[in-house]
Amino acid sequence: MYDRFNREIYYLRISVTDRCNLRCTYCMPEEGIHLLRHEDILSFDEIAGFTKVAVANGVSKVRITGGEPLVRKGIITLVRMISEIEGINDLSMTTNGVLMNQFAHQLKDAGLHRVNISLDTVDPVRFTTLTRTGNINDVFKGIDAAVSAGLLPVKINCVIKESKEEEDAIAVAQFCENNNLKIRYITQMDLFEGHFSTVDGGTGGLCSFCNRLRLTANGKLKPCLFSNIEFDIRELGFENALKMAVDFKPETGSKNQTGTFYNIGG
Ligand code: SAM
Ligand code: SF4
């Protein structure tokens, strides 16, 4: 699929839940979030059905995200349903890694190719402060499990405030080097204010090369993270929503005043 600016669109990011077992300070408000109603969340059949249509129209790269994808009940079944769609040559997941120790081998077996695990510090106390609740040892165990399950390459998403030279970022880079992991630095963004930036070592944030569509847990197809534009796949139908999202994908992002990281999935 090509959009109005001749960008080939072949990457679909699917947020499978708005729920999360952490409360990262830059992602979620302290007081918690207003959760989607159960009936508004897409079913597995809807997610897999839409993905099938997207793949038939040229999507070949799919990422499962959230919220925290591993807290969605039945996630292994969903991964299997997606991996069975012929034509996906890169199937990945972004996760905070807390539950990865429990799921890594099942995910591999269900057909997931690889994972990105988020880790912004290797300091146990700062990790708990930053996530408001997490235990870093769960993430370390999760990273080991992902590597031993063969969900490779395991990439580490490291959110930085401004620079790779920040103390936490340097320590995470060292950790990655010691453990043969690939690091991706993501500069902290503010969707509401329209502060976005590129992902160092990745392809995110470069509008002229943007190849993505995002599906939220409640079925809104978003052609741009930094825009309010979205198309409801239930109301419009899968084919129609897909066509409209591609046709109306903005040339460049501005602000997003309706969505957040935890419900769009980053
Ligand atoms: N819960 C999973 C996780 O944390 O990996 C998946 C969803 S999370 C929203 C996806 C990615 O977005 C994570 O790597 C997270 O660090 C990043 N993220 C969240 N809020 C962000 C923000 N304000 N600026 C930049 N990246 C952010
Ligand atoms: Fe949860 Fe991921 Fe947001 Fe942290 S960044 S609160 S782990 S969704």
Q: CA-CA distance, 94 to 92, in Å (whole number)?
A: 7
**206-255, pLDDT tens digit by residue?**
789 999 999 999 999 999 998 999 999 999 999 999 999 999 999 988 87
Distance 27 CA to ligand 1 centre (A): 7
- Region at 235 (left for phi over 0; alpha for psi -120 to 50; beta for the rest): alpha
Using a cut of 0.85, tell me whether the model's pTM lies above it. yes
Cα–Cα distance, 95 to 23 (Å, whole number): 13
Residue nearest to atom 4 of ligand 2 (CA): 24
Check residue 36 and report its DSSP letter: P
Task: Give me the long-range contacts of 160-165 (CB less than 8 A, separation at least 24).
Answer: 160/120, 160/185, 160/186, 160/187, 160/188, 161/187, 161/188, 162/187, 164/200
Residues at CB less than 6 angstroms from ligand 1: 20, 26-27, 65-66, 68, 94-96, 118, 157, 159, 186, 188-189, 261-262, 265-266
Structure tokens at 95: 């996760």
- CATH code: domain 11-264 is 3.20.20.70
Tens of pLDDT, residues 87-110: 999 999 999 999 999 999 999 999
Cα-to-centroid distance, 266 and ligand 1 (Å) = 5
- What pLDDT does 23 receive? 95
Question: What distance in angstroms lies between residue 168's CA and the mean position of ligand 1's atoms?
Answer: 16
